[in-house]
Structure 1
């Protein structure tokens, strides 16, 4: 049974990495949140894959700050909220026939933006390390 769980977690981790890669090139999709989930899945299934994510030169520091402090840097917060705003504008432009969809997306994005904005910023000690 543990082998099945391990394989499922590794599969989930790779799916999250794939979504993060898509998010790295599409401005309307996030990257780091998918990598946070991938790191958590790999932590429970493959320490080697987790270490690769945590030691990545670009994403590793963000993942480390999240893991240590639950912190999101101010530039990342601003970028995330701006991307959510762009997503909302696209929904308003392209889903005009469905006001219920617009309202639902606006609610979800507002909740996500509020969550992101209320996360702490990294401490100066953790930001350096």
Structure 2
């Protein structure tokens, strides 16, 4: 099972790295996921993520308090709002309400997390 966790951790870091360059793909959630997988497969790589100047504080804040930075909340809520608007404009009939419902549910969850 250790090898599976290691592979998933590497995949999470790779997707998170791509997210640095693609504006709609988040980076930090994939680094959180990578830290989770590395904690179970390669503690040295987990330590490197935790000690990273960009990702480490976010990982520790999430682990300790379930906290999201104000900037992360703002971008997350902005992305959800944009997705809901695009769904409402481009989808037809009752389908247009699905992105809105997802945005409300996920946005509420994000907004209620503690702020880092």
TM-score over 0.5 for the alignment? yes
Of the three residues 7, 19, 23, the one matched with 1:27 is 23
The number of equivalent residue pairs is 116
Of the three residues 38, 49, 65, the one matched with 1:53 is 49
The TM-score with structure 1 as length reference comes to 0.78
The TM-score with structure 2 as length reference comes to 0.85
CA RMSD of aligned residues (A): 1.8
8 Å Cα contact 1:42/1:50 also seen in 2: yes
Runs of 4+ with deviation above 4 angstroms: none
Of the three residues 83, 108, 127, the one matched with 2:102 is 108
Q: 1:39 to 1:56 in 2, by over 3 A?
A: same
Q: 1:68 to 1:84 in 2, by over 3 A?
A: same
Deviation at 1:17, TM superposition (A): 1.4
User: What residue ranges of structure 1 are gaps of 5+ in the alignment?
Assistant: 123-129
Of the three residues 88, 112, 115, the one matched with 1:118 is 112
Deviation at 1:40, TM superposition (A): 0.6
